[in-house]
Amino acid sequence: MGLVATGCGGGGKEAGGDARPADTAPPVTQPAPAVGTSTVATAKVASVKVLAKPGDTAPPIHTLANPTESTAPLVFLTERTEGDWILVNLPVRPNGSTGWVKASDVTISTHDYKIVVELSKFKITVFKAGNVMLSEPVGLGKGNTPTPGGKFYIKELLQPPNPNGVYGPYAYGLSGFSDVLTSFAGGPGTLGIHGNNDPSSIGREASAGCIRMSNTGITQLAKILPLGVPVEVLK
């Protein structure tokens, strides 16, 4: 996903340009503490077949390429394991989709980060092992392009070509999509969390659905968070 594929426009001064995956976020290599631990499956094959149920002999419900269109690794936030199969959250429409992937097609890692976005408070809070590590106001989707609630996860970290553009220095692509926009700037309306070039957009409805935070905050997160961090958006 390039940034042209996100549903992140509206109110900004620059909405075009491709981005490259950022290389500042370190991979997760060590198990996390038990509190708030999430398990991430990272594809290790060129394409991952997603089944409707474990070991299903029917055709796959999805076949997802690895790496992704943005050249980021294909990652899934996992739900549970049954034998040789893993139930994962999918970065596809409709929001909240799940499916089963073969355990041998992925590698498993864990982390203890979580993001909560409270729409009614225009606030983002980032937790590590249940403790708050960052909390700040955010800009959200406008009335006709609202930020949808739900459970998502970070699927990619992108570095826009212009750090002073509408997306700021970094942008996270999420596994979810706009409920209103089926396409945006040439892409499928993917949700994102990103910086900004208009501080007045923070704390109000200003975007086409994405979550805008301070450039200082997104830069801090880009240096720390792995892919696969759950993002809970509360209405």
Catalytic residue positions? 194, 210
Name the 3-class secondary structure at 202.
coil
Which region, left, alpha or beta, applies to residue 17 given φ > 0 means left and ψ of -120 to 50 means alpha? left
In this structure, are residues 38 and 225 in contact, taking their beta carbons and an 8 Å threshold?
no
Distance CA 148, CA 143 (A): 11
User: In which residue are the tokens 């991979």 written?
Assistant: 27
Distance CA 213, CA 200 (A): 11
User: In which residue are the tokens 């139930």 written?
Assistant: 87
Q: Distance of CA 1 to CAs 59, 148, 172, 193, Å?
A: 26, 19, 10, 14
Q: What are phi and psi of 67, to 5 degrees?
A: -70, 175
